[in-house]
Amino acid sequence: KQEVTQIPAALSVPEGENLVLNCSFTDSAIYNLQWFRQDPGKGLTSLLLIQSSQREQTSGRLNASLDKSSGRSTLYIAASQPGDSATYLCAVPPGGATNKLIFGTGTLLAVQP
Amino acid sequence: DTAVSQTPKYLVTQMGNDKSIKCEQNLGHDTMYWYKQDSKKFLKIMFSYNNKELIINETVPNRFSPKSPDKAHLNLHINSLELGDSAVYFCASSQDTRAYEAFFGQGTRLTVV
């Protein structure tokens, strides 16, 4: 059974700092991994999708890496800004399946001005 | 142009009532989903539809009945609402079931009193 864990659960950093969010999953037989952000009272916004054949995906100040064999992904945020404050979620399809996502527990990020 | 839209955004109702949440996507996707986010912010799949056909029902009580009149719409009807049904319900869609990127609506916050 696929389980997804995110560490840390909460993180507070000063503006301008680079930071790393971690996501680990128990079943490495995944097709892809997706990172989302959720703002309070809002829906989920897709940030990055990494296919299982990829090791990295970049979008602006965000860089996501994937190491299937170790069951880990990291989301790197460069030069953090107060507008980055949100909950960040990673999600994977369960091993061998594609028709749903298993979500991590989330990391609540606060970037202090 | 909203890609995945849900109505209503907020729903407050009494125990025992029946209510519906509507979802529409204008992305031309074949697959749509309902997810539930509980009070601890944990997101879990409820239903998945592909081309109007149910493909996943994650042991959701029979009081929850999804209906897909066409590929662009997936509605959720809930009978005999209970206090424990209070949560945020998210609709999502993806191109098909082959692990494409998922796009989420803004959520419907259901409060049962």
Question: How do A102-103 and A86-92 pair as beta strands?
Answer: antiparallel
pLDDT tens for A96-110 read 666 789 999 999 999
Given a cut of 80, is residue B112 above it in pLDDT? Answer: yes
Given a cut of 90, is residue A63 above it in pLDDT? Answer: yes
> pLDDT at position A14, please?
97
Q: Report the distance separating Cα A80 and Cα A76, nearest Å.
A: 10
Q: Nearest 5 degrees, angle CA A100-CA B43-CA B112?
A: 125
CA closest to B57 among chain A residues: A100
Structure tokens given for A101 = 């996502």
Contacts of B103 in chain A (CB under 8 A): 46
> pLDDT at position A41, please?
82
Contacts of A100 in chain B (CB under 8 A): 33, 45, 48, 56, 58
Whether A5 contacts chain B with CB within 8 A: no
Structure tokens given for B80 = 């005999």
Given a cut of 90, is residue B101 above it in pLDDT? Answer: no
pLDDT interval class at A1 (50, 70, 90)? confident
When the pLDDT of each residue in chain A is averaged and rounded to a whole number, the result is 93
B99 contacts A32? CB cut-off 8 A: yes
Distance from CA of A46 to the nearest CA of B (A): 7
**3-state class (DSSP) for residue A53:** coil
> pLDDT at position A28, please?
87
